[in-house]
């Protein structure tokens, strides 16, 4: 009897240990970096994340914002599934340098962004840093180096030499050490510590709540369209899906107006009015304004409608509006639009070529994007144009309710 009891206890211990091991492997957090961060620092950040309870850090190439992360890590290849994402960035445009006698002083910022892939809850934290280094000779040349030169240490390619290089390398080494220390401090109380295993159906619900019907359907399909739970959720979400589709048309109509194409706005508005979930009062107010505005003319007459309708747009409708605006003003359709709390990033792979041929058009579209973002959030807002998800900014714009017009310029 004692032998049987001992065997049962032993088996129970093995099962509990196996279960504990399984739990320890459940939470997978994708960790990526943006900017001139050395491979060693990347590895240090991965190690810090891996030390969180029940967490495994998975190195990733950041695909973009919330939508891009959902498409890849929830609705994409099952082997790529993650529970959360953490991106650490070191924006080169934040670097500033100054001089005092023979001392080089630097200030800058690094940012941490986390995303729970089940709830789509985001958290952003920005750290600022200062540093300095004594330089014996060539200080002026040292300070005039472009911010992108910070990447030299990561690549191992030296563009400067002797004491200038040594001072420069010493500064970046300390900057990266501060980045690692700040990451560790942030993770001590960060919400990402509470991440649970991925629940795709919860992701789909969160997408529907923010108006992303298209991405929600992609998640439903990845979960198995014949799954009874999926079928019940799709049936229950039909109203939300219809509203999402209608709102996207409304966003496109507003985008055409913001882009100065009244004729196209009328066509899209007619499609919106045919949608079962269209709101006749919103359509009527837009139609009245469009009746008095000529084609290819951006008029302040639109402002009243914009101020009323833009704040009420859901996420997908706002994205549709920005894409339509860019199509009207630049002739190019953005590959992605990433909407934050106070900023919008427009990714357009054709932008580098387009900027050479029609800089004013891109500047106008980005400036109006910043204005629309300000209307949406009721705050000071910014807009950034890039050519790829993790690329440098090509243009930047900002708008405040106190401005008479958006401010647009190079980074």
133: confidence class by pLDDT, cuts 50, 70, 90: low
User: Where in the sequence is the domain holding 223, given as residue range(s)?
Assistant: 201-236
Together in a domain, 322 and 390: no
Please give the pLDDT value at position 237.
80
Q: Do 31 and 118 belong together in one domain?
A: yes
Does residue 187 sit in the same domain as residue 55?
yes
Q: Give the CATH number, domain containing residue 148.
A: 3.30.160
Last residue of a domain, one of 180, 213, 236: 236
**Are 294 and 175 in a shared domain?**
no
Dump pLDDT digits (tens) for 247-268.
999 999 999 999 989 999 999 9
CA distance 371 to 347: 18
pLDDT tier at 156, thresholds 50, 70, 90: very low
**Six token digits for residue 39:** 């491979």
Dihedral angle, C-alpha 22, 24, 26, 28, nearest 10 °: -150
Find the range with the poorest average confidence among 147-161, 206-220, 323-337, 364-378.
Answer: 147-161
pLDDT digits (tens, 9 = 90+) for 351-363: 999 999 999 999 9
225 and 247 belong to one structural domain: no
Distance from C-alpha of 206 to C-alpha of 176, rounded to nearest angstrom: 35
| Residues 102 and 188 grouped into a single domain | yes
Can you tell me which residue has the tokens 């993770």? 187
Average pLDDT over residues 235-249: 86
Which of 278, 309, 330 represents a domain boundary (last residue)? Answer: 330
- The answer to whether residues 344 and 370 belong to one domain is yes
Gap between the Cα atoms of 30 and 195, Å rounded: 12
The number of beta carbons lying within 10 Å of the beta carbon of residue 4 is 8
Same domain, 290 and 411: no
Asked whether the predicted pLDDT for residue 163 surpasses 70, the reply is no
Least confident of 213-217, 292-296, 347-351: 292-296
pLDDT of residue 165: 53
Q: Which of 136, 159, 193 is the endpoint of a domain?
A: 193
Confidence of residue 28 (pLDDT cuts 50, 70, 90): very high
318 — pLDDT class (breaks 50, 70, 90): very high
Identify the three-state secondary structure at position 58.
strand
Is the pLDDT score of 159 beyond 50? no
Q: Is 346 within 8 Å of 383 (Cβ atoms)?
A: yes
Most confident of 46-55, 97-106, 166-175: 46-55
23 and 131 part of one domain: yes
| 94-98, 327-331, 368-372, 407-411: the lowest-pLDDT one | 94-98
Residue 392 is given by DSSP the state: P
| pLDDT tens for each residue of 327-340 | 999 999 998 898 88
pLDDT of residue 87: 94
Is residue 336 domain-shared with residue 318, that is, in the same domain? no
179 and 74 share one domain: yes
Residue 8's Cβ-count burial label (10 Å; 0-12, 13-18, 19+) is exposed
Over residues 180-189, the mean pLDDT reads: 91
Residues 122-139: b if buried by 16+ CB within 10 A, e if exposed: eeeeebebebbbebeeeb
User: Is the domain of 305 the same as that of 400?
Assistant: no
What pLDDT score does 298 carry?
Answer: 58
* Least confident window among 95-99, 235-239, 375-379: 95-99
The predicted model gives 295-317 an average pLDDT of 81
Which has more pLDDT, 382 or 139?
Answer: 382
Residue that wins the pLDDT comparison between 99 and 206 = 206
The pLDDT of residue 12: 43
Total domains present in the chain? 4
Token reading at 340: 């934050």
């Amino acid at each position: 009897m004692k032998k049987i009891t001992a065997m049962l206890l032993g088996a129970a211990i093995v099962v509990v240990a196996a279960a504990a091991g399984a739990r320890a492997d459940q939470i997978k957090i994708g960790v990526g970096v943006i900017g001139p961060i050395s491979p060693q620092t990347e590895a240090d950040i991965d190690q810090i994340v891996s030390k969180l309870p029940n967490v495994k850090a998975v190195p990733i190439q950041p695909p973009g914002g919330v939508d891009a992360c959902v498409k890849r890590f929830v609705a994409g290849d099952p082997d790529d599934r993650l529970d959360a994402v953490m991106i650490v960035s070191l924006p080169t445009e934040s670097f500033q340098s100054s001089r005092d006698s023979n001392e080089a002083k630097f200030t800058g910022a690094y940012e941490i962004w986390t995303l729970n892939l089940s709830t789509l809850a985001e958290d952003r934290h920005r750290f600022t840093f200062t540093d300095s280094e004594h330089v014996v000779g060539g200080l002026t040349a040292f300070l005039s180096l472009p911010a992108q030169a910070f990447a030299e240490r990561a690549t191992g390619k030296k563009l400067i030499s002797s004491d200038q290089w040594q001072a420069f390398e010493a500064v970046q080494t300390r900057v990266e050490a501060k980045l690692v220390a700040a990451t560790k401090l942030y993770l001590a109380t960060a919400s990402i510590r509470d991440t649970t295993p991925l629940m795709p159906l919860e992701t789909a619900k969160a997408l529907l709540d923010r108006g992303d019907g298209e991405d929600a359907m992609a998640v439903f399909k990845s979960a198995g369209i014949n799954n009874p739970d999926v079928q019940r959720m799709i049936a229950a979400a039909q109203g939300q899906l219809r509203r999402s589709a209608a709102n996207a048309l409304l966003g496109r109509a507003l985008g055409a107006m913001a882009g100065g194409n009244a004729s196209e706005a009328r066509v899209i508005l007619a499609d919106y009015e045919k949608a079962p979930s269209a709101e006749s009062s919103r359509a009527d107010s837009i139609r009245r304004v469009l009746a008095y505005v000529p084609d290819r003319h951006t008029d302040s007459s639109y402002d009243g409608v914009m101020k009323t309708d833009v704040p009420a747009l859901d996420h997908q409708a706002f994205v549709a509006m920005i894409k339509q605006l860019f199509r009207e003003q630049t002739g190019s359709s953005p590959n992605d639009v990433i909407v934050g709390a106070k900023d919008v990033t427009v990714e357009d792979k054709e932008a580098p070529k387009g900027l050479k041929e029609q800089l004013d058009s891109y500047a106008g579209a980005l400036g109006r994007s910043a204005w629309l973002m300000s209307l949406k959030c009721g705050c000071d807002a910014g807009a950034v144009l890039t050519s790829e998800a993790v690329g440098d900014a090509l243009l930047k714009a900002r708008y405040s309710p106190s401005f008479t017009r958006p401010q647009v310029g190079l980074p």
